[in-house]
Structure 1
């Protein structure tokens, strides 16, 4: 989710940087980097999350999962009564016939019921599903439906092809820069899966996990995708400060709105099995992580805007340089706000649609946990995003060399400013 207007670093190489500002910026980033590394070391999970009865966290003891090839799909049931009646060929509505591909019943043909929405989603012969096999009870088998039940449609293949198409499109259009961005995305996924999620499950503070993990991601992603330069360093400094602002706003907003962090069935199920998880901390972490992509977008754009303006207009004073770069930033904020709001609205569309049917006043819906959580997440990350624009612009304007007076065609000289 990025629409940055960043130019190649080679185009910006002519812009000089103040030596004192360079040192101050790099020292600050070095200190923040060391703090991030220290945070990773102290918060790195031991691999032993506090989970009640892990064997039951996903399925009953003894239940195994197997893939099966679909051979036939009956039409979805129109009513509960219809589901109990067989068709002319003996196959009930809403039933799927499949061949088990693994386990003790490998090669066996089974018939299982599936939800109506699955039957009507386009499932057909040749598709693959995942089924749950119940453990043998020792009694005589009474049929496959008593031992097998539907779990999900196996979507690995189409999702994999879609991911490959995405990678090829990025590589073909953005070339090396796009490939490096994908590598950075992979690193971000690594930090999320191997550090942030396990640390949260072990009961670590959600705010600290989010700030440390987000900082680690931004250090690698920004320098990898945009190169090692003072321009990128200015954007990184603005990004880290934006993360700090988002974290502060998120903590205050969650506390003042009394959000519990448990707003749906998933949260309730998670609270059943994970004993030490701080759900308000989890929500704070979600607020911070949700805004990282767009935050990176606006900060690198603002730093590049200052560099471009300084390159084409070296006579501008710092105040005017800041003012002109902020004109670009305001346009970027306007378009990015739409991006953030509609992205969250799309993710919560099912919840919005359900609440719409309740026919309650709009303000009363705002107070529901589901809607309030999305609003807080959107507004907190949005405030951090908006404030990161002037912060990054100011850092970049103070970093580049001061204004020069044009003394001839293509020549300039320093002037106070």
Structure 2
């Protein structure tokens, strides 16, 4: 196995990467931090008209409803969580039955309830859905164990980065958009800082991670520009997105087309991270194996590796968006509508733009990151011949490892 640490420890590489960091990364990260501070949402974000109170409980008994026994059951639910002093009470709740119930409610099942605070106890709670917290917790535990078992401390770092991503989404991106900040700017700023934390925390603060981060942020900016352009020229209203009309009714000032582009940017983030890290790692491996390799040689070899990776990643991204639109496509198929007509409707065209713009960002990330990595590590042996002190220092450092 090739030891790529000698590339990171190389004085020539370190100097070149410092230039990239100083000229590109530091200004971009500083701008993102300042923008986040300026746009940080403060105060109470709750909208009284949209405020909802929820509860949960366990079904202890079920009997048919008196008026419509074929379509409805009257369940007695013991409240596990509820507002005020209702926790632990057993309350009556009507639940759907038969053809009205997609998933039947059974004794011992856990359910989510809506709450009308001022209503009498007999009608205060309404069935909303099944409570799926237990299987979700088990799935999260299995996922965390699998990540740590495979990647060990790096897996722990990846899980921490995942937590930072969740916090950024819930504490900055969503609230800032609701507060009236430009959704595209918020997504780019939040996405850039997510990538800074995720890459450096997961892969370490080193030359290779810095090059991958520079490629990621550059490709992210290109994705944002392409998304904004094609959403505008396609005349999208943004209302076709699930939940968009509800958000608009509560926050009339929100920019739905900007929200659509923000979704494209955030959706492409994870895949961009994967592509740029892979490309930087590939070039580092090539340079470690052949320190005399020049830029053209490294770029050519790196792109050959990148082509195969991009082909599979792009297909994955497009299929993911197609899967999200599958129920809609089936509705059109049932109606016998032509493919050309279906594709130009907003609800389908929106997924096409998401998939293709995200894919263009991924495609751009490959040559961008490969070129940056090649510029950083090319011709190491030739440069080091002219600087024997650097050669000696690199050799001593490698032997200590």
Aligned CA-pair RMSD? 2.8
The CA distance in 1 between the partners of 2:313 and 2:94, in whole Å, is: 47
Taking structure 1 as reference, are residues 250 and 148 closer, same or farther at Cα in structure 2, changes over 3 Å only? same
TM-score, with structure 2 as normaliser: 0.86
1:4 alignment counterpart: none
Q: Does 1:127 align with 2:84?
A: no
The CA distance in 1 between the partners of 2:160 and 2:323, in whole Å, is: 27
The CA distance in 1 between the partners of 2:265 and 2:3, in whole Å, is: 29
Q: 1:337 aligns with which of 308, 314, 322?
A: 314
2:299 alignment counterpart: 322
1:89 alignment counterpart: none
Q: Deviations over 1:36-84 (max 9, x none)?
A: 11111111112355x7xx222145xxxx533231134679xxxxxx995
Q: Does 1:55 align with 2:48?
A: yes
Specify which structure has the higher proportion of helix.
2
Unaligned runs of 5+ in 2: 388-401
Count of matched residue pairs:
381
Q: Deviations over 1:303-341 (max 9, x none)?
A: 111110011122322101110011000010011012111
The CA distance in 1 between the partners of 2:110 and 2:3, in whole Å, is: 45
Unaligned runs of 5+ in 1: 1-6, 76-81, 87-91, 406-411
**Would you say the 8 A contact 1:15–1:401 is kept in 2?**
no
Q: Deviations over 1:255-281 (max 9, x none)?
A: 010111111451111111112211111
2:75 alignment counterpart: 97
**Would you say the 8 A contact 1:74–1:119 is kept in 2?**
no
Q: Does 1:261 align with 2:261?
A: no
- CA shift for structure 1 position 189: 1.1
The CA distance in 2 between the partners of 1:309 and 1:330, in whole Å, is: 16
The CA distance in 2 between the partners of 1:290 and 1:115, in whole Å, is: 38
TM-score, with structure 1 as normaliser: 0.83
- CA shift for structure 1 position 133: 3.9
Q: Does 1:200 align with 2:189?
A: no
The CA distance in 2 between the partners of 1:21 and 1:165, in whole Å, is: 42
Taking structure 1 as reference, are residues 155 and 241 closer, same or farther at Cα in structure 2, changes over 3 Å only? same
**Would you say the 8 A contact 1:366–1:372 is kept in 2?**
yes
2:146 alignment counterpart: 169
- CA shift for structure 1 position 358: 2.4
Taking structure 1 as reference, are residues 370 and 413 closer, same or farther at Cα in structure 2, changes over 3 Å only? same
The CA distance in 2 between the partners of 1:261 and 1:219, in whole Å, is: 30
Taking structure 1 as reference, are residues 10 and 118 closer, same or farther at Cα in structure 2, changes over 3 Å only? farther
Q: Does 1:68 align with 2:46?
A: no
The CA distance in 1 between the partners of 2:59 and 2:296, in whole Å, is: 68
The CA distance in 2 between the partners of 1:222 and 1:268, in whole Å, is: 36
